[in-house]
Structure 1
Amino acid sequence: MPLNAHGQPIGDPLPGWEPRRPPGPVVLEGTRCRVEPLDPARHAADLHAAYRSAPDDRDWTYLTAGPFATAADYRAWADGASRSADPRHYAVVATDSGQAVGTLALMRQDPAHGVIEVGGIAFSPPMRRSPLSTEAQFLLMSYVFDTLGYRRYEWKCDSLNAPSRAAAERLGFTFEGVFRQAVVYKGRNRDTAWYSLLDREWPAAKRAFRTWLAPANHTPDGRQIQPLAALRTPGTRTATEG
């Protein structure tokens, strides 16, 4: 650890550091999906139909928005969201059907320090626990780290949201702690669990994502052969996660 002239420990130097660009209205092409700016005229009807395919409204419990009883309600939300630069909302469009099946956003943008958060993740039943959802996350991570050059990619959720916490860990984020009474939403308290992925961790994470997403890692019916976590830990092999 470096020391200053007073013998005090200080952070590692960052020579040549410059503020990064904020995320833009980009289109990110993958094999199974495309991530593109949320466009209510093109995406809202597909998204509402995909969300309504769920048997109940539990997917909205830990999100600040929703549930949306009607297509008009969702369109009104999407109209506002599409005009926002922070959060900047993106739709996930399935390559095989051409239909929008989920959304996610880049938010709490801090270009001066190279920090950004992925949030507002609303994946419909057709894409959850599928290679498509993993690819969508990978495409956005690649954009943040490889194109924009950010140093820190954050994931935050209600500390009681077990599925979101499991997803963060599966994707390679590191748990950093719980911020107590951090947020009020939907008339209740939220203790927020914090996770992060750093630029120095990204190369290994990217290799694992690419290997996991490759056709050779999936059976003909779409089931994975090796889980993502195992690919981040060489020598580990487990049964399929589903």
Structure 2
Amino acid sequence: MTTAPQHNQFEQPIGRSIEGWQPCALPPHTAMTGSHCQVEPIDPAKHAKDLFEGNRVAAAGERFTYLATEAFEDIDSYRTWLESMRGPDPMLHAIIDLASGKAVGIAAFMRIDTTHGVIEIGNINYTPALSQTVAGTEAMYLMMKRAFDELNYRRYEWKCDDQNAPSRAAATRYGFVYEGTFRQHMVYKGRNRDSAWFSITDLEWPLVRAAFEAWLAPENFDANGKQVKSLQNLRKELATA
């Protein structure tokens, strides 16, 4: 349990003591199931066809601009890449739409630091069928819930190219806190990347979780499936309740 800030014997301020801290376990190779989607470890033989075809619906590969790879030209090369992402780090997951039974997106646990309880969500690629859906939001909730509630991680990270406005907006919507931009953080695809860093801590998670659960509740959607309250507004309301 995290306690209040304190001072050492020299009266110097030091960080909060963490009573009984033990390193975290790696994420298990088991599925996370919600009301709209299931998030399960990637199985190229099972998921590659759906994901490849789902990405081909989008025009010209623009969804890969800020990813480490370009759009894949054929399913064999895509399947080979999926095989390389099966873990333990990165541990890629497929997001399954429960209504259709199809894999419609991917996301990975990565840069996993079990010693300090830090884990990152990355390699997120939603096909058009998953973008801006309840299932897409639920998938992020399920992965956070595993990290914090099941595995007791202390810090959950989101990093993206600083130029990637949709990713920055998604991080803010989900409840991540912007921490700053690491300038000239890496080179990819022959260009510079300044990386924007975001995080959610275990102290922030209860509010973030409550907002997700309120947003995902059936009563938060009208007869046309439109949200009644946004995720951001629900967080604000809960924070002041």
- Which runs of structure 1 show a deviation greater than 4 angstroms over 4 or more consecutive aligned residues? none
Alignment-derived partner of residue 92 in structure 2: 89
Residue identity matched to 1:139: L
- Structural mapping, 1:215-226, within 5 Å: 215-226=218-229
Letter in 1 for 2:74: T
Letter in 2 for 1:86: D
Aligned residue in 1 for 2:184: 181
Matched, 1:100 2:103: yes
SS at match of 2:14: coil
Structure 1 position 49, deviation (Å) = 0.6
TM-score, scaled relative to structure 2 = 0.95
Identify the match of residue 71 of structure 1 among 67, 75, 79: 75
Give 1:235 shift: 8.1
Q: Which residue of structure 2 lines up, in the alignment, with residue 240 of structure 1?
A: none
Gaps of 5+ in 1: 237-242
Tell me whether 1:171 sits opposite 2:174 in the alignment.
Answer: yes
Alignment correspondent of 2:66 = 62
Question: Which residue does the alignment assign to 1:22?
Answer: 26
After superposition, give the CA deviation of every residue in 1:147-204 in whole Å (9 maximum; x if it has no partner).
0000000000000000000000000000000001111111111000000001011111
SS of the equivalent of 1:193 reads: strand
1:65-214 mapped onto 2 (5 Å cutoff): 65-82=69-86, 84-214=87-217
1:222 aligned counterpart, secondary structure: coil
Instruction: Quote how far apart the aligned CAs of 1:70 are.
Output: 1.4
1:239 aligns to what? none
The CA deviation at 1:215 is: 1.2
What TM-score comes out, normalization by structure 1 length?
0.95
Contact 2:96/2:105, CA 8 A, preserved across alignment: yes
Considering only aligned residues, what root-mean-square deviation do their CA atoms show, in Å? Answer: 1.2
The answer on whether the counterparts of 2:182 and 2:196 sit within 8 Å (CA) in structure 1 is yes
Rounded to whole Å, the distance in 2 between the matches of 1:154 and 1:136 is: 16
For 1:20 and 1:81, locate their aligned partners in 2 and report how far apart those are by CA, in whole Å. 21
Mapped to 1, the partners of 2:226 and 2:130 lie a distance apart of 14
Q: Give the letter for the 1:224 counterpart.
A: Q
In structure 1, distance between residues paired with 2:173 and 2:12: 37
Unpaired segments ≥5 residues, structure 2: none
Alignment of 1:31-46 (within 5 A): 31-46=35-50
